[in-house]
Structure 1
Amino acid sequence: MPVDPAQARLRSAYIDFVRAGRGSALDRDGGAQHLTASCFVFTPDMSRVLLCFHKKGRFWVQLGGHIEASDLSVAAAALREAREEGGIAELSPLDGRLVAGTGDPLPVDVHRHALSSRFGRCTTHWDIGFAAVARADAMPVTSHESEDVAWWPTDALPQQVPQGFGDRLAVVLRELAHRLAAH
C-alpha cells in the first residue's frame, strides 16, 4: 500500500477502473481513457531525474507512453518506454519489493490526468509510474518521440512542467525512500 494517502485513494480508483472493464484498459484503441506506463529515471544518488520535453504536451515530464501488445507487463512497458525515449539502454528497476511471482517492481506512482485536444481521441491517461536508476555518467539521447531529453536536479525542475509535477516527484521520492529503508 502506498505511503501517501492520496496515492492509496487513487490506487483504489485504478482498481475500480480496470474492474469496470470499459473497453480494454490496457489498449489505447479500446477507448478514450486507458492505462499508460511511465518511468522516473534517477541517478544513483537520487539527486537528478531524467525528463523529456513532450512534443504534444509541450512540457517536461518523466519518460513513458502507451502499453503495447508485446509488453509482458505494465512495468515492462514503462522500462521499454524509458529506454526508447531516454536513449539509455542500461536501466535498473528501483524498488525494494517485487510483485509476487512476476519479478516486476511495484509502481511508485499513479496519476490520472486529462489530456488536451492535441492528444487526439485520448481524453484521460491513467498513468502507472515505476522508477529506475541509470549510471551517474549515462548520457541521454533524444528520440523521435521527444524534442529533448535532459537530466534535471530533483530540487530544481524546469519551469515548463505540468502543474503539480514537483509535488508528484516529491511523493515518488518519499515512496522510494520509505521502500528502500524498509529493505
Structure 2
Amino acid sequence: MTLHDDAVRVLKDWTAPDAPDGAQEQLRLDYLDHLVSHRDGLWRSCLPAHLTASAVVVDPVQGRVLLTLHPKVGRWLQMGGHCEPEDGTLAAAALREATEESGIPGLRLLGDGGGGPIPVRLDRHRVRCTGRGRPENVHLDVQYVALAPAGAEASISEESLDLRWFGYGALPELTDRSVRELVALARRTTG
C-alpha cells in the first residue's frame, strides 16, 4: 500500500467529529477530492495544496501539552510537517514529525482501541512553505494526538525557536484558534 492509498483509506474510514456546522466532514470530503485529483497530493511539490501530518504531544497525567514556537509562523504550534517518501502511513508521518521536533522517544499516537492510530481533527491553512517571495500555498493537515511517556523530557530541534510544556488551561497568547481547538479535543479525548 502506498502513502497515497493509506491517506485515502484513513480519510474514507474516518468519522468526522459531530459539529453543528459540518466543517470537519466538509474538510474530509475536500481532502479526498484533492487526493483523487492529485496522485502527488501528499508531497510538498504539489501546489497549490498538499496534505501534511501533525500531532499534538500531551502528557495527560500532568495535564500539559508540548508546543513548538515555529520560526516561520511565529506562533506556538503542535509538531508536524510534510510527508516524506519513507513514511508508510499518515500516522507514521505524524509520529516521525512529533518525535523529531519534540526529541521525545516512545511517543504513542492515540488510537481507536484496535485498528491503530486515528486522526482527531483536520485543519486547512495557508502557509508559505515553498520559500520567501513565493506564493502562499495550502496545507491540508491531518491531526493526531501523541501521548508522551511518563517523565518525558523534550529536547529542542533546529526546527523550533522554542519548545515548552504548557498546562491545558494556560496556553500562550501566540496560539491560534486551530491549536486551541486541537488541545481542547486532545484533553477531552485523553481524559
* Per-residue CA distance 1:53-95 (angstroms, 9 max, x = gap): 1010011000001000011111101000001000001111212
For 1:98 and 1:9, locate their aligned partners in 2 and report how far apart those are by CA, in whole Å. 26
After TM superposition, give the deviation of residue 12 of structure 1 in Å: 1.7
After TM superposition, give the deviation of residue 137 of structure 1 in Å: 1.5
Identity of aligned residues (%): 38
For 2:176 and 2:131, locate their aligned partners in 1 and report how far apart those are by CA, in whole Å. 15
Q: How does the TM-score come out when normalised to structure 1? A: 0.84
For 1:88 and 1:40, locate their aligned partners in 2 and report how far apart those are by CA, in whole Å. 13
Residue 35 of structure 2: aligned partner: 18
Residue 174 of structure 2: aligned partner: 160
How many residue pairs are counted as aligned between the two chains? Answer: 172
For 1:119 and 1:125, locate their aligned partners in 2 and report how far apart those are by CA, in whole Å. 14
Instruction: Say which SS state the counterpart of residue 54 (structure 2) adopts.
Output: strand
**1:169 to 2:186 alignment:** no
After TM superposition, give the deviation of residue 168 of structure 1 in Å: 3.6
1:3-152 residue pairs with structure 2 within 5 A? 3-5=17-19, 6-21=23-38, 24-45=40-61, 47-97=63-113, 99=115, 104-116=116-128, 120=132, 121=134, 123-152=137-166
After TM superposition, give the deviation of residue 110 of structure 1 in Å: 0.6
The CA RMSD over aligned residues, in Å, is 2.2
Q: Is the 8 Å Cα contact of residues 63 and 85 (structure 1) preserved in structure 2?
A: yes
Q: How does the TM-score come out when normalised to structure 2? A: 0.80
Give every structure 1 segment of 4 or more consecutive aligned residues whose post-TM-superposition deviation is greater than 3 Å. 116-122, 171-174
Q: Is the 8 Å Cα contact of residues 39 and 62 (structure 1) preserved in structure 2?
A: yes
Task: Name the stretch that deviates more: 110-119 or 83-92.
Answer: 110-119
For 1:161 and 1:135, locate their aligned partners in 2 and report how far apart those are by CA, in whole Å. 24
Task: Name the stretch that deviates more: 84-93 or 1-10.
Answer: 1-10
Could you say if the C-alpha distance between residues 155 and 135 of structure 1 is closer, same or farther in structure 2, counting changes exceeding 3 Å?
A: same
Q: Is the 8 Å Cα contact of residues 65 and 183 (structure 2) preserved in structure 1?
A: no
- Aligned-partner residue type, residue 146 of structure 2: A
For 2:150 and 2:129, locate their aligned partners in 1 and report how far apart those are by CA, in whole Å. 37
Instruction: Say which SS state the counterpart of residue 105 (structure 1) adopts.
Output: coil
